């Protein structure tokens, strides 16, 4: 049948099972929006307040559901406003297709109104990018985009379509989507080498990364840890792949990891990295990282092997498939003395905070208690992000959604909207600092427009908390441009954008506020006022070994402390 390019785009979205898209219209993409109007009963379009919010919402939708997220934008500034969101998805390996429209083919390359080479701009931050100048290849290009986004190590793909292509007629034939390909390359010999390391280790440690979430390998990870009888730590992206209540779980590793995880990994004789990339925020000083250990690295991306840390053995492929293979052959191991030693470290160095006053850890613990650890938590970036990672017990994958690799301030609210659209059955809460919240708080208007019942918690210390923490510890208390003591009233802003707002200043107000927000069935902002100098501990200084992890008790007293 003959369809316009715009109609072909909509039909291809339907082919791929897309039921929700996020975007913002403009001149060059009007034909696509006209086609969406005719199919609004099949594809629900969420009009965000800004294109960056659309990209973050598509990202959050993808992380919460495991599906490919989709965002739309017009040419020029519409397309460039997606860039931060695309880069965020790229750094964290999130499957997303960004569809943009450009000026007509005769106007390309002439600095036309709202013309930009968005495929060129996003080349370093996408798995692949297309510019479609011929309607006859449009459908196959979109199909390839979805296939690439979901295959192997996932990531964002950009499809830029000229406006005349969206208007041109072409024959369209429906096709079933191709399943993603994961291209496992491991050999029986490599499996044997891995098993030798595993069965001869006396002090193993499992380090779980985001790949364990993306591959759907949570059950396999848990079986593997039980058979190996090994303590388990995770990266920020790996949260929920392993049960946060398990006696084998020791918490996060790295710059703000627990002392037990950081010291334990520094003592182990075998470190097994599952879908992790040895980020600098995990490793610290690479020369001193896990210096007593051999390393077994399992990852779907061959480029990650030996990139940041030298591996003694490696398996390249889908983590779920590899762990199924290892679990079949791995005998039940017994490391009682080792796991008991790690438990002693956990008892000796528990996470702790000042319980005498309202603090973010207290808010997180109350949220964990009230939701039974079963909410989807999104975050922005900074102190609140680390506290959310430390004090909420994640028991299932795809319940912690945060910008790990890029560290995007302003990410969480859009992501929370996307997560709630993808998982309407879940309580969805975004935790943001006041600095982050300012960046994209306009998306509260999106939540109120569609009555999306998300909870936005703003941890307000009237400063850029994490930067101030570094200024306190490493810059002799020179607080250059980190104090936000102005006249902004977040509760009034939220109410002005159509949301309920609650201000919390005491510990006893936290639980009633959370319960009221959950019961409301509408978008709610909870502003929590905390002291400006609360700090995230434990911490590893930049460039130090993770074994040099410290907390407040390790710091000398200062006049400003």
Asked if 452 and 446 count as a contact pair (C-beta separation under 8 A), the reply is yes
Q: In what order do the strands lie in the sheet with 500-504?
A: 400-401, 376-379, 428-433, 455-460, 524-529, 500-504
Please pick, among 14, 15, 114, 548, the residue that the annotation labels catalytic.
114
Is 466 marked active-site? Answer: yes
- C-alpha 108/C-alpha 243 separation (Å) is 52
Please pick, among 42, 113, 175, 492, the residue that the annotation labels catalytic.
113
- 290: tokens are 């896990």
Asked if 29 and 54 count as a contact pair (C-beta separation under 8 A), the reply is no
- C-alpha 27/C-alpha 75 separation (Å) is 8
Q: Quick one: angle between helices 83-91 and 51-65, nearest 10? A: 20
Asked if 59 and 69 count as a contact pair (C-beta separation under 8 A), the reply is yes
- Closest by CA to 220, choosing from 236, 200, 206, 241, is 241
- C-alpha 103/C-alpha 333 separation (Å) is 62
Is 220 marked active-site? Answer: no
- 282: tokens are 């995990």
Please pick, among 466, 469, 527, 537, the residue that the annotation labels catalytic.
466
- C-alpha 127/C-alpha 536 separation (Å) is 34
Q: 259: how many CB neighbours lie within 10 A of its CB?
A: 23
Please pick, among 7, 11, 16, 51, the residue that the annotation labels catalytic.
51
Beta bridge mates, 159? 99, 130
Please pick, among 7, 11, 67, 163, the residue that the annotation labels catalytic.
163
Mind spelling out the 3-state secondary structure of 521-560? Answer: CCCEEEEEECCCCCCCCCECCCCCEHHHCECHHHCCCCCC
Q: 107: how many CB neighbours lie within 10 A of its CB?
A: 18
- 389: tokens are 């990672």
**DSSP conformation class of 5:** H
Is 492 marked active-site? Answer: no
Decide: helix, strand or coil at residue 274. strand
- Closest by CA to 186, choosing from 382, 323, 366, is 323
- C-alpha 339/C-alpha 502 separation (Å) is 44
Is 114 marked active-site? Answer: yes
Start-to-end C-alpha separation, the chain: 73
Contacts of 265 (CB under 8 A, 6+ apart): 205, 207, 233, 253, 271, 289, 290, 293, 546
**DSSP conformation class of 202:** S
- 515: tokens are 């319960």
- 458: tokens are 């703003």
Q: Is residue 370 packed enough to be buried (19+ CB in 10 Å), middle (13-18) or exposed (0-12)?
A: middle
C-alpha separations of 413 from 361, 362, 434, 461 in Å: 20, 21, 12, 19
Q: Catalytic residue positions?
A: 51, 113-114, 163, 466
């Amino acid at each position: 049948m003959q369809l316009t390019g715009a109609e072909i785009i909509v039909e291809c979205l339907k082919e791929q099972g897309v039921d929700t898209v996020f975007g913002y219209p403009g001149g060059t993409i009007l034909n696509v929006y006209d086609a969406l109007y005719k199919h609004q009963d099949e594809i629900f379009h969420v009009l965000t307040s800004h294109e960056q919010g659309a990209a973050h919402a598509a990202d959050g939708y993808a992380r919460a559901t495991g599906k490919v997220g989709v965002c739309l934008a017009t040419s020029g500034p519409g397309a460039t406003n997606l860039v931060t969101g695309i880069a965020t998805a790229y750094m964290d390996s999130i499957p997303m297709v960004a569809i943009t429209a450009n000026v007509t083919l005769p106007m390309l390359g002439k600095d036309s109104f709202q013309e930009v080479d968005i495929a060129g701009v996003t080349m370093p931050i996408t798995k692949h990018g297309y510019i479609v100048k011929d309607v006859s290849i449009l459908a196959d290009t979109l199909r390839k985009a979805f296939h690439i986004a979901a295959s192997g190590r996932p990531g964002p793909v950009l499809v830029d379509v000229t406006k005349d292509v969206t208007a041109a007629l072409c024959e369209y034939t429906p096709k079933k989507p191709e399943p993603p390909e994961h291209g496992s390359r491991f050999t029986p010999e490599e499996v044997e080498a891995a098993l030798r390391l595993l069965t001869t280790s006396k002090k193993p440690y499992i380090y779980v990364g985001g790949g364990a979430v993306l591959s759907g390998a949570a059950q396999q990870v848990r079986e593997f840890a039980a058979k190996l009888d090994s303590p388990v730590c995770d990266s920020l992206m790996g949260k929920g792949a392993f049960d946060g209540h398990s006696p084998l779980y020791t918490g996060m590793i790295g710059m703000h990891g627990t002392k037990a995880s950081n010291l334990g990994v520094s003592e182990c004789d075998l470190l097994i990295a599952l879908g992790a990339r040895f980020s600098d925020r995990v490793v610290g000083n690479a020369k001193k990282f896990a210096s007593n250990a051999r390393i077994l690295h399992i990852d779907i991306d061959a480029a990650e092997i030996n990139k940041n840390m030298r591996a003694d053995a490696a398996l390249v492929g889908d983590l779920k498939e590899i762990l199924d293979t290892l679990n079949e052959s791995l005998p039940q191991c017994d490391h009682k003395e080792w796991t008991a030693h790690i438990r002693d470290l956990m008892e000796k160095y528990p996470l702790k905070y000042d319980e005498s006053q309202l603090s973010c850890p207290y808010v997180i613990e109350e949220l964990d208690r009230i939701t039974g650890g079963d909410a989807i938590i999104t975050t922005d970036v900074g102190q609140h992000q680390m506290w959310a990672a430390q004090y909420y017990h994640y028991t299932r994958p795809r319940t912690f959604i945060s910008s790990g690799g890029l560290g995007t301030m302003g990410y969480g609210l859009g992501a929370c909207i996307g997560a709630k659209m993808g998982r309407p059955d879940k309580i969805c809460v975004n935790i943001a600092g006041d600095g982050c919240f300012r960046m994209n708080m306009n998306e509260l208007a999106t939540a109120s427009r569609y009555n999306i019942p998300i909870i936005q918690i703003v941890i307000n210390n009237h400063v850029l908390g994490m930067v101030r923490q570094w200024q306190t510890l490493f810059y002799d208390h020179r607080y250059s441009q980190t104090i936000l003591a102005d006249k902004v009233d977040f509760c009034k802003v939220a109410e002005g954008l159509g949301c309920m707002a609650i201000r919390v200043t005491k510990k006893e107000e936290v639980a009633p506020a959370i319960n009221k927000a959950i019961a409301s069935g509408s978008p709610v902002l909870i502003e929590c006022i905390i002291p400006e100098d609360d700090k995230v501990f434990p911490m590893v200084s930049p460039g130090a070994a993770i074994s040099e992890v410290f907390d407040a008790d390790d710091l000398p007293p200062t006049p400003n402390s």
